[in-house]
């Protein structure tokens, strides 16, 4: 069995607390879209120093970040994710967060959702990992605040919800915001920390200002290339592509409202994402079917004319 080993640098402040937090979370949750852990190790190394590590199943396709932003290394260099793959990955992560927030017994906030923490298995199924700063709710019936206050900024710049910057508490709404940012990144191909986002411009208002009339201008060029290739072959119509993209952007923007109370919860989001996935697949299949039916019609007309000619 191939495994991935996460070794904690215990010289870093908070590393031991992160190890304990991740162990506590992982021992009490299990879901098809959460990175499965094999074992944890807390021992002494050859120098007599503390040694702590987590052993996970190895994910052969790396993480989502390397597929969205290939940098000359890794398997994703000459590969790109198509729209259908991106939708499936987003659905996987929505399901994982829905489970953490609503179905795992103790509602859990991931606190650090970003593409590098989204792993891809051999079938390109997405699994959420890295629970080093995850938080449990003190009251399982609560859906607004966490038992542990945020000290400083917990998470990664660009994906942190605005309320955390003001000293707010970790919440499921914070994960919703991060999911919205990740979804925008998947559709635009731009990190929220892209150099173009400055002087008041961020990835949210970058997309908002073009939605819906000019939305294709902010979409990842590789997705536009995919659409152009399909449209030239008459395999997919512009209407199918734009409706799918518009639905995804609408969900992403609704997740990134500045006020947490204006955001949907992950159960609602997961339901919408599944509906979008089903709708897009049906529209695409219908478009392909109509294309095949048209070709068959012309083929029949051609052979019928030929037989009459002879």
Q: Give the active site residues.
A: 112
What does the alpha-carbon distance between residue 131 and residue 155 come to, in Å, rounded to a whole number? Answer: 11
Strand order in the sheet with 3-7: 3-7, 50-57, 37-44
Contact 108, 135 (CB under 8 A): yes
76 three-state secondary structure: helix
What does the alpha-carbon distance between residue 296 and residue 306 come to, in Å, rounded to a whole number? Answer: 15
Residues 6+ apart with CB under 8 A from 124: 61, 85, 88, 89
Chain centroid to CA 120: how far? 11
The single residue listed with the structure tokens 């191909």 is 189
What does the alpha-carbon distance between residue 185 and residue 181 come to, in Å, rounded to a whole number? Answer: 6
């Amino acid at each position: 069995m191939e495994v991935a080993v996460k070794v904690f640098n215990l010289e870093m402040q908070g590393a031991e607390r992160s190890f304990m937090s991740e162990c506590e979370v992982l021992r009490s949750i299990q879901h098809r879209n959460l990175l499965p852990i094999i074992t944890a190790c807390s021992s002494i190394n050859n120098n007599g120093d503390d040694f702590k590590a987590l052993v996970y199943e190895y994910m052969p396709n790396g993480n989502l970040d390397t597929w969205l932003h290939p940098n000359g290394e890794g398997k994703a260099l000459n590969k790109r994710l198509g729209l259908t793959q991106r939708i499936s990955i987003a659905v996987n992560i929505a399901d994982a967060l829905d489970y953490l927030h609503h179905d795992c017994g103790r509602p859990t906030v991931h606190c650090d959702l970003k593409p590098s923490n989204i792993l891809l298995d051999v079938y390109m199924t997405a699994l959420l990992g890295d629970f080093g700063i995850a938080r449990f709710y003190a009251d399982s019936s609560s859906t607004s605040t966490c038992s542990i206050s945020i000290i400083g900024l917990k998470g990664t710049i660009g994906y942190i919800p605005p309320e955390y910057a003001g000293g707010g508490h970790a919440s499921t709404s914070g994960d919703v915001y991060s999911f919205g940012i990740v979804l925008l990144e998947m559709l635009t191909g731009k990190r929220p920390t892209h150099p173009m986002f400055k002087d008041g411009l961020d990835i949210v208002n970058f997309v908002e200002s073009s939605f819906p009339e000019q939305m294709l201008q902010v979409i990842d060029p590789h997705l536009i290339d995919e659409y152009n290739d399909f449209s030239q072959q008459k395999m997919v119509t512009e209407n199918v592509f734009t409706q799918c993209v518009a639905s995804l952007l609408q969900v992403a923007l609704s997740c990134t409202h500045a006020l947490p109370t204006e955001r949907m919860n992950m159960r609602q989001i997961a339901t919408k994402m599944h509906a979008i996935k089903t709708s897009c697949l049906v529209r695409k299949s219908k478009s392909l079917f109509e294309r095949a039916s048209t070709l068959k019609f012309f083929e029949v007309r051609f052979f019928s004319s030929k037989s009459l000619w002879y």
